[in-house]
Chain A
Amino acid sequence: GEDVEQSLFLSVREGDSSVINCTYTDSSSTYLYWYKQEPGAGLQLLTYIFSNMDMKQDQRLTVLLNKKDKHLSLRIADTQTGDSAIYFCAESSRILTGGGNKLTFGTGTQLKVEL
């Protein structure tokens, strides 16, 4: 079955870059995602990448995908205190009948940004 792993914690200083890593096992993964969860809030879709891409950039966010190693990373440039949250990696491979995707989430990485 699908399995998605992340390290549990990451601490960085404000202004530095953060790199959050994720590994997955399902070689048929079609889409890979990064979600952000702030304390007491729901999940916010930050970005996603198709499996036929190596990189995607969106403002301060850069996603790198190494499909051979099944490794996904999220780089946040110029990390701010407002970036402190839990970041979830997710993958989907099943295209459901009628549409929609089944997401398998990683364990989440707690990012702490220190002054």
Chain B
Amino acid sequence: DTAVSQTPKYLVTQMGNDKSIKCEQNLGHDTMYWYKQDSKKFLKIMFSYNNKELIINETVPNRFSPKSPDKAHLNLHINSLELGDSAVYFCASSQALRGYEQYFGPGTRLTVT
């Protein structure tokens, strides 16, 4: 009965590769987010989607492309991975009228070598 799930939990890859992280929520929420947590635990929002429409895109390189096939899924595709992309990526979701309650997934630890 996981609320917000992400796959994979760990991802190790080489520079220059392209990879995807998947996120699914079964809470019936209509807004989903991607956050990045760096090695110093600093968390910053990357993207937000509402009803499959992009509503936040925070100065993220265009190598990062979110895709929302439906309201329950928000995937993150990263092209040409760089060392600096190593981080933990968190997906979150909320209901529009209760956007102040965001629920986070367990995170995906991406390591670029």
Residues of A within 8 A of B (CB): 30-31, 33, 35, 37, 41-45, 48, 86, 88, 92, 95-105, 107-108
The smallest beta-carbon distance between B7 and chain A, in angstroms, is 13
B residues 15-56 with Cβ under 8 Å of A?
30-31, 33, 40-45, 48, 50-51, 53, 55-56
Chain B contributes a number of interface residues (CB within 8 A of A) equal to 31
Query: Do B106 and A95 touch (CB < 8 A)?
Result: no
* A97-B104 contact, Cβ under 8 Å, with A105-B43, A107-B41: no
Contact of A102 among B48, B90, B104 (CB under 8 A): B48
* A42-B105 contact, Cβ under 8 Å, with A88-B43, A98-B50, A105-B42: yes
The smallest beta-carbon distance between B57 and chain A, in angstroms, is 11
Interface flag for B66 (CB, 8 Å) = no
* A92 neighbours in B (Cβ, 8 Å): 99-100
* A101-B94 contact, Cβ under 8 Å, with A86-B41, A88-B43, A96-B55: yes
Query: Do A102 and B50 touch (CB < 8 A)?
Result: no
Cα distance, A46 to B55, chains bound together (Å): 26
Cα distance, A63 to B94, chains bound together (Å): 22
In the complex, the chain A residue whose C-beta lies closest to that of B90 is A42
Query: Do B51 and A98 touch (CB < 8 A)?
Result: yes
* B105 neighbours in A (Cβ, 8 Å): 42
- Interface residue SS majority, chain B: strand
The smallest beta-carbon distance between B96 and chain A, in angstroms, is 3
Q: Could you list 14 examples of A-B contacts with CB < 8 Å?
A: A41-B106, A42-B105, A45-B104, A48-B101, A88-B43, A92-B99, A96-B56, A99-B94, A99-B95, A99-B97, A100-B50, A105-B43, A105-B44, A108-B42
* B43 neighbours in A (Cβ, 8 Å): 43, 88, 105, 108
Cα distance, A31 to B95, chains bound together (Å): 15
**Looking at A30, A35, A43, A95, which has the most chain B CB atoms within 10 Å of its CB?**
A43
Interface flag for B113 (CB, 8 Å) = no
**Looking at B44, B48, B90, B102, which has the most chain A CB atoms within 10 Å of its CB?**
B102
